[in-house]
Structure 1
Amino acid sequence: MSPRGLLLLLALQSASGGAWKILFDGKTLGNWKSTNFGGEGAVRAENGTLVLEMGMNLTGITWAGEDLPRMDYEIRLQAMKLDGNDFFCGLTFPVGEAPCTLIVGGWGGATVGLSSLDGRDASENETTRTMSFDRNRWYRVRVRVTRGKIEAWIDDGKVADVDTSGRRISIRPEVELSRPFGIATWLTRAALRGIELRRL
C-alpha cells in the first residue's frame, strides 16, 4: 500500500472508530445474565433474539463478561416492543465512573430521554421528548460516550446531545443492578438483537 493510501486508511479508521465487538451471538445469553431485580420475567435467547418477558416491574440483562470501556465508545442494538405500555429499552451504560440510562418508551410508552442529569430523570430534563413506538417493529438504538459528551440516536434521529462538563450524571436506584452495562424493561415484553460495542 502506498503511503498516501495508508494515511487515508488510518484517517478512515480514526473517523469511524474501532471494529464492532459482538456482545450477543444470537444463540445464548453468553456473558449476559438475567438481572435479579425481584419479580422479573424470564429471559431467553430465541430465534436470534434475546426475549425479555414481562415481569412484575423490571426485567433485564446485565453484562457479566470482560471489562468494557467506560469512555470513548459506542454501543448499539436493536429493540422491539412485543407487549406492554412502558419502556422496552432502558440501556444503562457508563460515563467514566458514573452510570447513565437511555430510556426508550417510558412513562406510559412514549417518553425518551437520559436518566439522570443533575438529579432529573428522563421525564424532566433537556433530553426529554415524546415519540410513538409501534409493537413488533425493530428500532435501532445507539449511544456514543466521549469526553464531555453523551449522544444518542433512535433509528436515524438524534435524541440526545449533552455536554456533560460540570454535570452530575446518575441513574435511578431501581436500575442500580444494571451497572455497568445493562438493558431493562418496565412492565413490558421486548426483544433485543444486534448488541455491539466499539471503542472510538
Structure 2
Amino acid sequence: MQIKNSLYKRTTPYIVVAFLIGLSACVGNQKSKNATETIPQRVDSGWVQLFDGKSLDGWQITNFGTQGTVQVIEGEIVLGMGDGCTGITWNGNFPKTDYEVKLEAKKITGNDFFCGMTFPVKDSFCTLIIGGWGGPVVGLSNIDGSDASDNESHTLKKFDHDTWYAIHLKVSSEKIEAWIDGEQVVDFSTSGKQLSVRSEVSLSKPFGICSWRTTSALRNIHLKE
C-alpha cells in the first residue's frame, strides 16, 4: 500500500502536466481556427485584391451626408447604419467593361439592401442591389429609368442576418451577370437599354459599395479584368 501511494505521488504531477499541455493545444487550435475566419480567401490567378483586410487603402468613405460610421474590424469593412446610404468608393482606376468583381457581404442589423454595388458599364453606370425594398429584392438600378423593384432584372431572395453571401458580378460588352452563392440572379442583355443610377447612390461612381439604413459588412473584395 505504501508502494502504491508512493507511485501515485510520483506520477500525479506528470498526469496533470500532460492534461494542461493537451488543454493548451486545444485552446490554441481553436484560436487558430477562429483566426483563419478573417484571412482573405484564395482566388484564381488574375484576380486583384481591392481590400487588404487591414485598412481602407485605395478607398474613401463616401460623403453621402447621411452615412453612419465606416470601420475596418477584424478583416471586415463594417458599414454602420445611417439615415440613408453608408458606403465606400474606390479611389483608383477602374475598368469600364469586360471585368468581374467578387466579394462577400452580410447584413448585421436593419432590413434593407446590405450591398449596393455601383459599377461602370462602358460610358454608363448601374447598381446591383442585394436585399432592397424591405429585404428581398435583387436586381439592377436603373434600367430605362426603372429601379430594381420594377424592371426585368428583378428577383426575390431571402437573406438572413449575420450570414455571409458570396457575390459575383460580371460585366461584358453585351451583358451584366450576377451570382449569389453560385446561383445566377442576374442575366441581363444591355443591348438597346439605357442604364443609370438612382440619385441616392450617385456618389458611389465609378465603383462603390454601400448599404441603405442597414449595418452590413464586406470582405474579400477582388477584381479581375
The TM-score with structure 2 as length reference comes to: 0.79
Residue 5 of structure 1: aligned partner = none
Partner of 1:158: 184
Query: Structure 1: how far apart are the matches of 2:45 and 2:170?
Result: 13
1:18 deviates by 6.3
Show the counterpart of 2:138.
Answer: 112
| Structure with greater helix share of residues | 2
Q: Which runs of 5+ in 2 are unaligned?
A: 1-43
Q: Which residue identity is paired with 1:60?
A: G
Choose the corresponding residue for 1:103, options 129, 133, 144. Answer: 129
Moved over 6 A (4+): none
Per-residue CA shift, 1:67-98, capped at 9, x if unaligned? 12111000110000000010000000000110
Measured in 2, the distance between the counterparts of 1:149 and 1:83 equals 33
2:61 corresponds to:
34
RMSD: 1.0
- Pick from 157, 171, 192 the counterpart of residue 218 of structure 2: 192
Q: Which runs of 5+ in 1 are unaligned?
A: 1-16
Aligned length: 182
Offset of residue 110 of structure 1: 0.8
User: Which structure has the larger Rg over C-alpha atoms?
Assistant: 2
**What's the offset of the Cα at 1:57?**
1.0
Alignment of 1:8-23 (within 5 A): 19-23=46-50
| 1:112-131 to 2 correspondences below 5 Å | 112-131=138-157
What letter corresponds to residue 124 of structure 2 in structure 1? A
* Length-normalised TM-score, structure 1: 0.89
Q: Deviations over 1:142-197 (max 9, x none)?
A: 11000111101111111111111111011111111000000010000000001000
Q: Which whole-Å CA distance do the structure 2 matches of 1:21 and 1:174 have between them?
A: 28
Say if 2:81 is the partner of 1:54.
Answer: yes
1:141 aligned residue: 167
Deviation (angstroms), 1:103: 0.3
Letter in 1 for 2:181: D
Deviations 1:24-46 (A, max 9, x none): 00000111111000120010111
Distance in 1 of aligned mates of 2:181 and 2:128: 14
Which fold has the larger relative contact order, with Cα–Cα distance below 8 Å and residues 6 or more apart in sequence?
1
Tell me which amino acid in the other structure corresponds to 2:165: Y
Identical positions, percent: 53
Equivalent residues of 1:18, 1:198 under 8 A apart: no
Question: In the alignment, which residue of structure 2 is the partner of 1:9?
Answer: none
Residue in 1 aligned with 2:26? none
What SS does structure 2 have at the residue aligned with 1:175?
A: helix
Letter in 2 for 1:80: K
What code does the residue aligned with 2:85 have?
L
1:13 maps to none
